[in-house]
């Protein structure tokens, strides 16, 4: 009994419905549409944002991906990040970002606009592999997380950027450094009296506050609470 070649059967059946030339034309159009969609997404990512928001299907949204602006601000301030329009982003997107956005658009039957990115300041100036997150606004200061990529942050980052959160933190940091050096001097020179250590501490406080604040503003830095959504260059 003659065996059935499924591939040949598929070809025969397909050729009854459509010719090879027609099939190539259809596939070519699909790819052209796909390329057009990719270009449209890239334009959206590089386009300056306006006040419009995205209307996503309620039943299709995942609650774990919905964040209020106040929550985003807290994380930005805590880890010294920025939350800015995607057109200001100078880092690299993952290769599959257009597919991720296309799939989400298809799921919600819409074209996503006004992309926002939460990332370290340097990613809005130079290319870096650190940890960006792409959002779109969905109204009432809520944002929907589209995709997260890059490396995870070192847990020490929160501690390292804590002095730059606000003016109070930098002042407290200056005082703590002064305490450390004053106590250290007592260990190095045990003959120092408590009064002398206290006087040294006062001099150190003045000195470190001046040095830290002077260097901070000399390098055009600004506090995390001020820059988290600032488009200007005070990094």
111 and 32 within one domain: yes
Number of domains within the chain: 2
Shared-domain flag, residues 119 and 191? no
pLDDT of residue 232: 58
Indicate whether 180 and 118 sit together in one domain. no
Residue 115 lies in a domain: yes
> What angle (nearest 5°) sits at the alpha carbon of residue 153, between those of residues 98 and 144?
40
Residue 5 has pLDDT above 80, yes or no: no
Instruction: Let me know if residue 14 belongs to a domain.
Output: yes
Q: What's the token pair of residue 16?
A: 């009854």
Are 98 and 58 in a shared domain?
yes
pLDDT in tens, 149-189: 876 666 777 778 888 888 888 888 888 988 888 888 878 78
Comparing 216 with 66, which gets the higher pLDDT? 66
Is there a domain that residue 234 lies in? Answer: no
> Are 151 and 95 found together in one domain?
yes
Average pLDDT over residues 62-87: 88
C-alpha torsion sign, points 161, 167, 210, 196: negative
The domain boundary, picked from 158, 191, 209, lies at: 158
Task: State which of 130, 158, 186 marks the end of a domain.
Answer: 158
Structure tokens at 22: 């027609």
Confidence of residue 68 (pLDDT cuts 50, 70, 90): very high
pLDDT per residue as tens digits for the range 108-119: 999 999 999 988
Residue 10 lies in a domain: yes
Whole-prediction pTM value? 0.61
Domain-embedded: residue 186: yes
Q: Which two tokens stand for residue 123?
A: 């990613």
* Domain-ending residue, one of 132, 158, 184: 158
**Could you tell me the two tokens for 127?**
């290319």
Residue 232 inside a domain? The answer is no
Q: Looking at residue 108, what is its pLDDT? A: 92
Sign of the alpha-carbon dihedral angle for 189, 195, 201, 204: negative
Beta bridge partners of 147: 134
Backbone torsions φ then ψ of 4, nearest 5 degrees: -95, 125
Domain that holds residue 11: 1-158
Buried b (16+ CB within 10 A) or exposed e, 51-62: eebbebeeeeee
φ/ψ of 155, rounded to 5, equals -60, -20
For 198, residues 6+ apart whose C-beta sits below 8 A from its C-beta are 182
Average pLDDT over residues 33-57: 81
């Amino acid at each position: 009994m003659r065996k059935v070649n499924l591939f040949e059967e598929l070809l025969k059946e397909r050729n009854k419905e459509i010719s090879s030339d027609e099939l190539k034309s259809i596939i070519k159009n699909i790819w052209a549409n796909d390329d057009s969609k990719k270009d449209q997404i890239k334009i959206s990512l590089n386009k300056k944002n306006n006040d419009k928001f995205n209307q996503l299907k309620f039943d299709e949204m995942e609650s774990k991906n919905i964040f209020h602006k106040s929550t985003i601000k807290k994380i930005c301030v805590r880890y010294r990040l920025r939350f800015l329009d995607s057109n200001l982003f100078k880092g690299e997107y993952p290769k599959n970002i257009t597919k991720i956005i296309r799939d989400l658009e298809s799921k919600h039957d819409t074209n996503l606009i006004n992309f926002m990115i939460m990332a370290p300041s340097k990613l809005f100036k130079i290319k870096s592999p650190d940890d960006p997150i792409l959002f779109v606004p969905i109204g009432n200061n809520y944002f929907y997380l589209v995709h997260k990529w890059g490396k995870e942050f070192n847990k020490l980052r929160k501690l390292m950027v804590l002095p730059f959160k606000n003016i109070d933190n930098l002042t407290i940091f200056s005082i703590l450094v002064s305490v450390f050096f004053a106590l250290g001097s007592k260990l190095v020179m045990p003959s120092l009296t408590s009064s002398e250590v206290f006087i040294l501490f006062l001099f150190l406080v003045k000195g470190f506050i001046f040095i830290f604040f002077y260097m901070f503003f000399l390098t055009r830095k600004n506090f995390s609470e001020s820059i988290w959504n600032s488009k200007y260059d005070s990094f």
